[in-house]
Amino acid sequence: MAYATAQDLLTRYDSRRVSDLVSDTGTRSVYPDSSPVVAAVLEDASGMVDAACRVAKRYTVTELANLTGSTRSLLVRLVCDLAFGLLVARRGYSAQDQTAMAPQTKAANEMLEMVRRGERLFDSADVAEAGVNVQSLYTRTEGFSSQTDLVGRSQRLWGERRV
């Protein structure tokens, strides 16, 4: 499920540029909001967000879909920035040209990486503690000495979802 609509993309980006990027005929697309290309890149960008947010069980798809207010707007912006970058990349431009034509895509990818690492969180009551490290102290003694059971003692170093 895409977290942004074609109208969201056209609100955030010049519709003429989007229309030029989605057309394969050399003439500007009259209805970019109904273009299957726009739908595809929005879905792809949403998948990129899903992949980053689901690392270490930080968010579920339902939690992301239920975001509201400015947090929802941030998610939509992130998806649109990624989607626009995908539209530019679709044309086969060099990496340098892509950076020049869609500079916000780099910032969106950096934001995704921060979300993935837990340095940024989407503001939601349901996920206020998403990715918080949870430590449990236990000793595993079956066949191992408690001093050498490094694997057992460090089973969960990364964030674990509190349910």
Range of the domain at 55: 6-126
pTM: 0.74
Residues 21, 95: one domain? yes
Question: Which residue type, as a one-letter code, is found at position 15?
Answer: S
- CB burial of 48-58 (b: ≥16 within 10 Å; e: otherwise) equals bbeebbeebeb
Residues 137, 121: one domain? no
Average pLDDT over residues 1-5: 94
Residues 96, 149: one domain? no
- In a domain? residue 1: no
Q: Residue 49 has what pLDDT?
A: 94
Q: Exposed, middle or buried, 16 (CB in 10 Å: 0-12/13-18/19+)?
A: exposed
Radius of gyration, CA atoms only, the chain: 21
CA distance 22 to 29: 7
CA distance 5 to 13: 12
Q: Which residues contact 106 (CB under 8 A, 6 or more apart)?
A: 99
Q: Which residue has the higher pLDDT, 62 or 152?
A: 62
Residue 119 confidence (pLDDT) above 80: yes
Residues 21, 85: one domain? yes
